[in-house]
Structure 1
Amino acid sequence: MAFAISGGRVNDAYKPTGAVSTSLRLTDTATVAYQDLWKTQPHIRTVVSFLARNVAQLGLHTYRRVSDLDRERVTDHPLAQLLAQPNPYTTPYRFTEALVSDLAIYDNAILLKVKLPEQPMALLRLDPARVTPTGTNPFVPTGYLLGKQSFKPEDIIHFRGYSPVDARWGMSPMETLRNLLSEEHQATLYREQLWRNGARISGYLQRPADAPSWTSPAKERFRSQWQAQYSGDGSRPGGTPILEDGMTYVPAATSPRDAQYIESRKLTREEVTAAYHVPLPLVGILDHATYSNIVEQHKMLYQDCLGPYLQMIQQELALQLMPDFPDSDDLYIEFNLSEKLRGSFEEQAAQLQTAVGSPWMTRNEARARVNLPQVDGGDELVTPLNVTAGGQASPTDSAPPPIEAGSARALRAVEG
């Protein structure tokens, strides 16, 4: 099969938009940057931090494929050493946490390959809000611009999500949450103004039409006294209103119940969580949570929720970083996911005991788990007498052997 269409013809016909969004317009007068939304919107920060922290605690290991059935972990290869220490200033945990946070906030994460005096090769995080892709290729950037500094694609590791607008740059999930975040922004402003005014009920004063003429000094005096009495903080606000000239106070505020403030906050929290594909009970939304479904959703977390993030990071590092190292043809990178899916110690112990049919840990290994010193003879595996080859399946299975039918009848006859 032949490929007849050249890439140049596609590039000429399909130009990138060149529009890179780093902020969200919430109102006609308020445009907020993505990083400021993370800083000010508690639901955004809760979900983003949840994703980043759970991925960061997984170790990113390097393996060599020996055969189809065998592999070995590699620790002395330059690639493994780089992942173990991305740069002299950042731990692997903080490095991965920042990477996943950028993906969750911007749908883009950018790493710069650099050489430092302390390290022949290092990876530094670049803020996606300050980086702009350049070039006319509609599929990949031909350069990256940071301020006045331009970088080549081979100097950058670019993690990006999907965007129907520009294939070169991901689109933040916050764009989808624009309306909800706008409502939350307005509700926060309302609540802030309410408490700034002493949380008093809003309204207006109605003065009778036949009231005496109100001079400007008298009007200003009354206004100043009213504000000092019923707004702000201190000891005076909250007293009983004193009205003049037959005035009446007309409430004109919407109560939190009428505004469904609690329901809207709850809806925002759930919609933000759903937009990031996180199970609701795992971020504290326990309306329909039970012990059993929380346990199952915790298992699903590293399969359906974090699995795509892990796979993206592994494949992008294999594509954009691994070719820079020699002797890397049979290497691959993988998160140590098995540590999170093994279950509790009791579950692991029961599974291993059932699998091997006998004890699987020495006394010294057990003492090391509780930080106790070794003892003489503690390196021998103690096997109970009731566990032999072809005998009992478990050292905890101490039931007597079954009685045959003839022996059972004889025993009943003796007892009778």
Structure 2
Amino acid sequence: MPFVFSQGVLESVHQYQTATIPVGGSIMLADGLAQDYATIWRTQPQVRTVVSFLARNIAQLGIHVYRRMSDVDRVRITDHPVGDLLSKPNPFTTRYRLIEALVSDLAIYDNAILAKVDTLGLVRLDPRYVTPISANQFTVETYRYRGTTGYRDLPAEQVIHFRGYNPEDGRWGCSPMETLRRTLSEEYQAGQYREQLWRNGARLMGYLKRPLDAPEWGEAARDRFRRSWQAQYTGTGAKAGGTPILEDGMDFVPASVTPEAAQYIEARRLTREEVAAAYHIPLPMVGILDHATFSNIQEQHKNLYQDTLGPWLTMMTEELHLQLLGDFEDSQDVYLEFNLAEKLRGSFEEQAAQLQTATGAPWMTRNEARARVNLPQLDGGDELVTPLNVLTGGQASPTDSAPEPKTVLATAMRLLEGVAG
């Protein structure tokens, strides 16, 4: 029995033995135009702002390799082959660019695919041209990649597939843009209207009304008035923006929606809020500062890496453990972790206060401090300067150097005897 896979538009019918997913997916806008997800990302600034925010912030984090020594001990490994592969995925891609593309694909398509190529390393495959092929909707045996000269089938073992949840098919994610279909369609129509408005000189739309007793217009008079009116109210006319002269007692009757009534600014802000909410991003992080203060922005910045990016990082590392780490020898008790602590360290002042509190004393020499500001070293500047009110030498308190109580009592008795004598 044939069945249909569709993400917004009907594309093809397939038999269940080789069920496939349509190319990329697309959204049908209000005017009947079907735009795929890549076009929406490219043309709608609200979507691109949110997606690039996610991709850039995650790509900035480094990926470290650790070996678990015990339940309470671990050691970082700097020479493991999986770490080398992730730091240089292939000869023409950096780690940052690979992670940025990976997160962008996940945010746009809810799917991201990397191919394991022996001669190159890890290579990104465009999800628009990948079709999972299997006999069921739970596992994938083959990924078919379509190119300009044909297609190539890759076994599942040679592919790393990151995907989100899809209740209709567990093999392929469902793009968040499907949920944002109506919001994105409204934004598209508003953009089309604004573009037409400015192309026509941002004129007031309406109609001209002539009195019933006005004299009859000839063809030449009507053409002359039309040319004069268009020259004053179109964007290319030499007299655009001028004052029209109405004849024969005519009236201009406005018949348009003003920008204030249409609430263009509010609509654009609402679109960005809806897109940010779909990706669980705090609004101040994408430039919506209506209710932002210094303190709550700081807290939301921390929540960003805990509540927003945390699930993404966990999903990505677990998929790498499952689909990549097992391909290497000596991977027992080895695991990957994004360097999230680097982003949560706080400002320089906060870090300095934390380090000084943890050590209980100054933690930089004068020469180390001078190197920070590009000054030459000084003789004797490699020693820590310890203030007199900071105790060192293993003493927990000033009373550690006090004499024993018996010694104090004996000394006091001798002083009293001397005074009495």
CA distance in 2: counterparts of 1:109 and 1:37, whole angstroms: 17
1:338: how far off? 0.8
- Does residue 284 in structure 1 map to residue 283 in structure 2? no
CA distance in 1: counterparts of 2:224 and 2:197, whole angstroms: 24
Q: How does 1:108-187 map to 2 (within 5 A)?
A: 108-116=111-119, 121-147=120-146, 148-187=151-190
Q: Deviations over 1:132-169 (max 9, x none)?
A: 22222211322212212221111111100111121111
User: Equivalent of 2:107, from 100, 104, 108?
Assistant: 104
Give 1:350's aligned residue. 353
1:366: how far off? 3.1
1:326–1:376 Cα change, 3 Å: farther
Q: Deviations over 1:316-354 (max 9, x none)?
A: 111111111111122111001111112122222222222
Contact between 2:19 and 2:133, CA under 8 Å: does it hold in 1? no
Give 1:231's aligned residue. 234
User: Equivalent of 1:79, from 79, 82, 106?
Assistant: 82
Contact between 1:17 and 1:166, CA under 8 Å: does it hold in 2? no
CA distance in 2: counterparts of 1:14 and 1:353, whole angstroms: 65
Give 2:39's aligned residue. 36
Residue range with higher mean Cα deviation, 132-141 or 278-287 = 132-141
1:258: how far off? 1.4
Unaligned segments of structure 1, at least 5 residues: 1-12, 394-416
Q: How does 1:290-369 map to 2 (within 5 A)?
A: 290-369=293-372
Give 1:397's aligned residue. none
CA distance in 2: counterparts of 1:40 and 1:18, whole angstroms: 24
CA distance in 2: counterparts of 1:374 and 1:83, whole angstroms: 38
Query: Aligned partner of 1:127: which letter?
Result: D
Q: Deviations over 1:12-51 (max 9, x none)?
A: x999784565211112421112111111111111111111
CA distance in 2: counterparts of 1:374 and 1:184, whole angstroms: 60
- Does residue 251 in structure 1 map to residue 254 in structure 2? yes
1:81: how far off? 0.5
Contact between 2:65 and 2:76, CA under 8 Å: does it hold in 1? yes
Residue range with higher mean Cα deviation, 60-69 or 321-330 = 60-69
- Length-normalised TM-score, structure 1: 0.84
1:278: how far off? 0.6
Contact between 2:285 and 2:301, CA under 8 Å: does it hold in 1? yes
Give 1:202's aligned residue. 205
Give 1:266's aligned residue. 269
- Does residue 66 in structure 1 map to residue 76 in structure 2? no
User: Secondary structure of the residue that 1:254 maps to in structure 2?
Assistant: coil
Query: Aligned partner of 2:200: which letter?
Result: N
User: Equivalent of 2:93, from 90, 93, 98?
Assistant: 90
1:285: how far off? 0.8
Query: Aligned partner of 1:354: which letter?
Result: T
User: Secondary structure of the residue that 1:258 maps to in structure 2?
Assistant: helix
CA distance in 1: counterparts of 2:124 and 2:21, whole angstroms: 22
1:265: how far off? 1.5
CA distance in 1: counterparts of 2:213 and 2:225, whole angstroms: 18
Give 2:403's aligned residue. none
CA distance in 2: counterparts of 1:99 and 1:135, whole angstroms: 24
User: Secondary structure of the residue that 2:312 maps to in structure 1?
Assistant: helix
User: Secondary structure of the residue that 2:388 maps to in structure 1?
Assistant: coil
1:18–1:95 Cα change, 3 Å: closer
1:366–1:290 Cα change, 3 Å: same
User: Secondary structure of the residue that 2:132 maps to in structure 1?
Assistant: strand
User: Secondary structure of the residue that 2:70 maps to in structure 1?
Assistant: coil
Q: Deviations over 1:268-311 (max 9, x none)?
A: 11111111101111111111111111111111111001001111
Q: Deviations over 1:43-95 (max 9, x none)?
A: 11111111111111110111122222222222222111101101111111111
Q: Deviations over 1:241-290 (max 9, x none)?
A: 23344433211111111122222122111111111101111111111111
Contact between 1:386 and 1:392, CA under 8 Å: does it hold in 2? no
1:386: how far off? 2.5
CA distance in 1: counterparts of 2:382 and 2:17, whole angstroms: 68
CA distance in 1: counterparts of 2:310 and 2:19, whole angstroms: 30
1:189: how far off? 0.9
User: Secondary structure of the residue that 1:341 maps to in structure 2?
Assistant: coil
Contact between 1:14 and 1:138, CA under 8 Å: does it hold in 2? no
1:28–1:356 Cα change, 3 Å: same
CA distance in 2: counterparts of 1:44 and 1:300, whole angstroms: 21
Give 2:417's aligned residue. none
Query: Aligned partner of 1:174: which letter?
Result: M
User: Secondary structure of the residue that 1:306 maps to in structure 2?
Assistant: helix
1:268–1:371 Cα change, 3 Å: same
Query: Aligned partner of 2:295: which letter?
Result: S
User: Secondary structure of the residue that 2:174 maps to in structure 1?
Assistant: coil
User: Equivalent of 1:387, from 387, 390, 395?
Assistant: 390
CA distance in 2: counterparts of 1:216 and 1:370, whole angstroms: 81
CA distance in 2: counterparts of 1:92 and 1:259, whole angstroms: 45
1:384–1:358 Cα change, 3 Å: same
**Identical amino acids, percent of aligned pairs:** 66
1:214: how far off? 4.5
- Length-normalised TM-score, structure 2: 0.83
Give 2:406's aligned residue. none
Contact between 1:16 and 1:166, CA under 8 Å: does it hold in 2? no
CA distance in 2: counterparts of 1:158 and 1:38, whole angstroms: 21
Q: List structure 1 segments (4+ residues) > 6 angstroms apart after TM superposition.
A: 13-17
